[in-house]
């Protein structure tokens, strides 16, 4: 048999048991096997791109977004070159890679993400409550007819948008930034309706932080039906009447929110006066907080936490932790999906909706893998995970992965410990600090004021600057 034939057969054997040891914390390997098994993708004919290798290729594509897909495969097989004689860095054609991705499909990647996300559960961190956050964002993809037809594109005031976009809404563990659940839909889907099925993950002892786009009486009611609590910002146009026993001037008062909710067709009825009833009324007692930070505009929050032992200042400071999910979405879109040079045109590469959805679940699954490593490193080395850089952690994984792939099994625990130490040393060179910026833009294409030389960063101590009821 020729060397090429030998290397191919050896690669087929290695690919059946392939894993990326640097990302296999916890039960990652078992979850991949289970995902492939329950979706019927675990068996395949004799091909170098066995299902496990194809799965790892898809999971690593978002981590190495600046590489082409064949280059990502080259990264993975490079660690096998000590084990497989004369193994090429391009062991299969580009067409074979595309075929293996189509054959793998969306379901195994989605199932792996689900199994992995089931392990995310925040510890009580706020007056005995576990803190979650909801938020949404838009993700871009290549401009094809199929993608535009499935996901649509934002309609600008003039011209035509460059790329189709999908909307993603996520439920995040605020402490670890892990994404417990996500939903994907067309760009114009409503965030509250997308978030509604994810409320099933909540229960007694949970607190959800919400931006003002989630404000709705029926959505709050759905959260309370899960025996969970909410803390949500309120838009300026919403009006409240303080209950007589509380003072609106204090900035911490009680009020009722009341709104009609349309009944499902099967629940509509005609009352005793012959009126056809299509709506029911949601009425809920909430606590309203009003405050300012420095000279900024007034901010209002509503919460179902009526316990006065939790002070208004505690709630205001806790609400500002909602920024963690904004940072997580930024990490997904800007840092994890960035390129080494030039400008990233789209986050996804897929030319078809199925390829895009495969990448979407791989994106959040790989993000959780990295975040899991950061949490493990922070716990072991007693470092605040917020102080560890995601970008530097990605670099540490990229450097360690080929070493662990080619190392003998008895060396793997020591190398894994070294990886965690490398991640623990990957501290952010500019730690998070209290600061604020004027809401201005450099190019006058929106309602924000034009940025001027006087618009500079201002350092601020948020806690001492908060004025409740001001």
pLDDT at position 433, please? 67
Residues 452 and 309 in one domain: no
CATH code for the domain in which residue 216 is found: 3.90.350.10
- Residue 304 falls inside a structural domain: yes
- Residue 396 falls inside a structural domain: no
Q: Residue 58 contacts by C-beta under 8 Å, 6 or more apart in sequence?
A: 101, 104, 109, 358, 359, 362
Residues 100 and 129 in one domain: no
Residues 162 and 248 in one domain: yes
Phi, psi of 195 (to 5 degrees): -80, -25
Q: Which of 304, 328, 352 is the last residue of a domain?
A: 328
Element spanning 180, H or E: strand 179-186
Q: Which of 64, 95, 114 is the last residue of a domain?
A: 114
Lowest-confidence range among 39-53, 181-195, 393-407? 39-53
Residues 193 and 317 in one domain: yes
Q: At 8, is the pLDDT very low, low, confident or very high (cuts 50, 70, 90)?
A: low
Beta bridge partners of 287: 254, 303
pLDDT at position 400, please? 92
Residues 76 and 142 in one domain: no
Check if the beta carbon of residue 113 is closer than 8 Å to that of residue 368: yes
- Residue 340 falls inside a structural domain: no
Task: State both tokens at 100.
Answer: 């293996």
Residues 217 and 278 in one domain: yes
Q: At 339, is the pLDDT very low, low, confident or very high (cuts 50, 70, 90)?
A: low
- Residue 349 falls inside a structural domain: no
* pTM assigned to the model: 0.88
pLDDT at position 220, please? 96
Q: What is the rounded CA–CA span in Å between residue 394 and residue 340? A: 13
Residues 81 and 171 in one domain: no
pLDDT at position 4, please? 43
- Residue 48 falls inside a structural domain: yes
Residues 107 and 127 in one domain: no
Residues 167 and 290 in one domain: yes
Residues 67 and 131 in one domain: no
The pLDDT of residue 2 is above 50 = no
Task: State both tokens at 302.
Answer: 């509503």
Query: What sign has the CA pseudo-torsion 218, 223, 227, 232?
Result: negative
- Residue 425 falls inside a structural domain: no
Q: At 7, is the pLDDT very low, low, confident or very high (cuts 50, 70, 90)?
A: low
The pLDDT of residue 343 is above 60 = no
Q: What is the rounded CA–CA span in Å between residue 418 and residue 176? A: 21
The pLDDT of residue 165 is above 60 = yes
The DSSP letter of residue 336 is: I
Q: What is the rounded CA–CA span in Å between residue 470 and residue 296? A: 11
| pLDDT tens-digit series, residues 276-293 | 777 888 899 999 999 988
Lowest-confidence range among 43-57, 167-181, 438-452? 438-452
The pLDDT of residue 152 is above 50 = yes
Instruction: Choose among 40, 83, 76: nearest CA to 59.
Output: 76
Task: State both tokens at 146.
Answer: 């199929």
Residues 181 and 266 in one domain: yes
Residues 303 and 173 in one domain: yes
The boundaries of the domain holding residue 127 are: 120-328
Give the ranges where 126-248 is alpha helix by DSSP (H): 145-151, 191-195, 217-225
Mean pLDDT of 451-463: 81
Find the length of the chain: 470
- Residue 338 falls inside a structural domain: no
Mean pLDDT of 406-413: 88
Mean pLDDT of 385-401: 90
- Residue 367 falls inside a structural domain: no
Q: Which of 114, 132, 159 is the last residue of a domain?
A: 114
**342: alpha, beta or left, given left = phi > 0 and alpha = psi -120 to 50?**
left
The structural domain count of the chain equals 3
Mean pLDDT of the chain: 87
Q: What is the rounded CA–CA span in Å between residue 69 and residue 89? A: 12
Task: State both tokens at 149.
Answer: 């037809």
| pLDDT tens-digit series, residues 27-67 | 898 999 999 999 998 776 667 788 899 999 999 999 988 88
Choice between 113 and 462, residue whose per-residue pLDDT is larger: 113
| pLDDT tens-digit series, residues 296-334 | 788 999 999 999 999 999 999 999 999 888 888 888 888
């Amino acid at each position: 048999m020729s060397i090429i034939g030998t290397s191919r057969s050896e690669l087929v054997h290695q690919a059946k048991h392939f894993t990326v040891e640097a990302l296999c914390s916890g039960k990652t390997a078992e979850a991949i096997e289970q995902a492939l098994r329950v979706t019927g993708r675990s068996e395949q004919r004799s091909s170098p791109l066995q299902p496990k290798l194809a799965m790892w290729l898809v999971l690593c594509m978002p981590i190495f977004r600046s590489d082409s897909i064949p280059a990502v495969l080259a990264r993975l097989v490079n660690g096998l070159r000590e084990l497989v004689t004369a193994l090429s860095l391009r062991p299969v054609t580009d067409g074979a890679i595309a075929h293996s991705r189509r054959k793998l499909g969306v379901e195994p990647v989605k199932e792996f993400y689900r199994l992995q996300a089931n392990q995310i559960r925040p510890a009580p961190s706020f007056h005995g409550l576990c803190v979650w956050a909801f938020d949404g964002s838009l993700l871009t993809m290549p401009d094809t007819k199929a993608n535009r037809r499935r996901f649509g594109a934002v309609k600008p005031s003039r011209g035509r948008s460059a790329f189709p976009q999908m909307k993603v809404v996520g439920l995040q563990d605020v402490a670890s930034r892990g994404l417990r659940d996500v939903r994907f839909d067309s760009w114009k889907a409503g965030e509250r309706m997308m978030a509604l099925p994810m409320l099933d993950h909540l229960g007694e002892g949970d607190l959800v932080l919400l931006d003002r786009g989630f404000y709705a009486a029926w959505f709050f009611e759905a959260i309370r039906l899960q025996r969970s609590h909410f803390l949500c910002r309120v838009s300026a146009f919403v009006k409240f009447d303080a209950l007589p026993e509380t003072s609106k001037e204090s900035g911490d008062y009680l009020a009722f929110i009341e709104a009609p909710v349309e009944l499902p067709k099967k629940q509509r009825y005609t009352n005793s006066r012959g009126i056809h009833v299509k709506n029911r009324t949601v009425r809920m007692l909430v606590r309203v907080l009003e405050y300012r930070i420095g000279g900024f505009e007034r901010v209002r929050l509503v919460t179902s936490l009526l316990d006065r032992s939790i002070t208004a200042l505690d709630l205001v400071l806790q609400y500002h932790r909602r920024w963690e999910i904004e940072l997580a979405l930024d990490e997904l879109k800007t840092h994890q999906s960035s390129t080494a040079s030039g400008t990233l045109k789209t986050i996804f590469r897929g030319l078809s909706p199925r390829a895009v959805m495969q990448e979407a679940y791989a994106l959040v699954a790989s993000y959780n893998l990295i975040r899991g490593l950061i949490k493990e490193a922070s716990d072991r080395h007693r470092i605040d995970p917020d102080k560890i850089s995601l970008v530097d952690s990605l670099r540490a994984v990229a450097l360690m992965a080929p070493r662990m792939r080619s190392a003998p099994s008895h060396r793997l625990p020591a190398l894994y410990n070294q990886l965690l130490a490398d991640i623990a040393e990957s501290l952010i060179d500019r730690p998070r600090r209290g600061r604020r910026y004027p809401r201005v833009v450099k190019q006058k294409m929106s309602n924000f004021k034009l940025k001027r030389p006087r618009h500079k960063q201002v350092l601020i101590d948020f806690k001492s600057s908060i004025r409740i009821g001001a």
